[in-house]
Structure 1
Amino acid sequence: MGKQMTEMLKGTLEGIVLATLATQPAYGYEITARLRDEGFADIAEGTVYALLIRIEQRGLVDVEKVPSEKGPPRKVYSLNAVGAEYLDEFWKSWNFLTERIERLHNHTGNTNNEGE
């Protein structure tokens, strides 16, 4: 993944993880696996765990400790009402930005050589 893509992803990863949790609760490794299934193959597990700590501290998720067959209990994260409101704002911001970026892209022409 290129540096530009990495930087863009940093700014949106919180919303992406919350969107993942909106579908169903999950623990850290499950979240990472879901992201990889969605095409975010280069996201490091450590990045997801650090983000989960931040969103937990900000009160965007509820956490339940669930017994694990192997090792200590797992922390299962679920989106709460505050997180759902935050996710709704994320999607509004995302739509605003993508509409304007697409408009700019259409006005300036496609500089991407799509046939390569």
Structure 2
Amino acid sequence: MAALPRIAGRPGYIFTRTGTAPISDYSSSKAKLDAAMLAIAREDASRSGHDPKGIKIKPWRLHDLRRTCSTGMAKLGQPIHVVEAVLNHRSGTISGVAAVYNRYQYLAEKRAALESWGSDVERLIASGGDLR
């Protein structure tokens, strides 16, 4: 834990609502996230001259973020065993006997995959959401 990056005002935990404990109530955290997303979308609509009350957020689940990340890394050409390692899965190409004997953690490969995915997300944001 000492090697993890620190966030100002949030000692001890990277993903936390209080700064003193890990997230444990995902449904209320997601409800807050949904409300924040809706507020941002309505602000954007208002700025562009649309009716903010007509804006809705399509239903989604936190698991969708894992699926999107996995799909995006695969699209970027990351090997499936690295994507699976990022997701902390023991399936894909390293399962069965290979999963028992292969204890390599793929740290450098996972970092490269996540940095590539992060760059792609930044590119998408900068392009205004153009998925090309």
TM over 0.5: no
If the TM-score is normalised by the length of the shorter chain, which range does it land in? Answer: 0.3 to 0.5
Report which of the two structures shows the higher radius of gyration computed on alpha carbons.
Answer: 2
RCO higher in structure (CA 8 A, sep ≥6) = 1
Higher helix share: 1
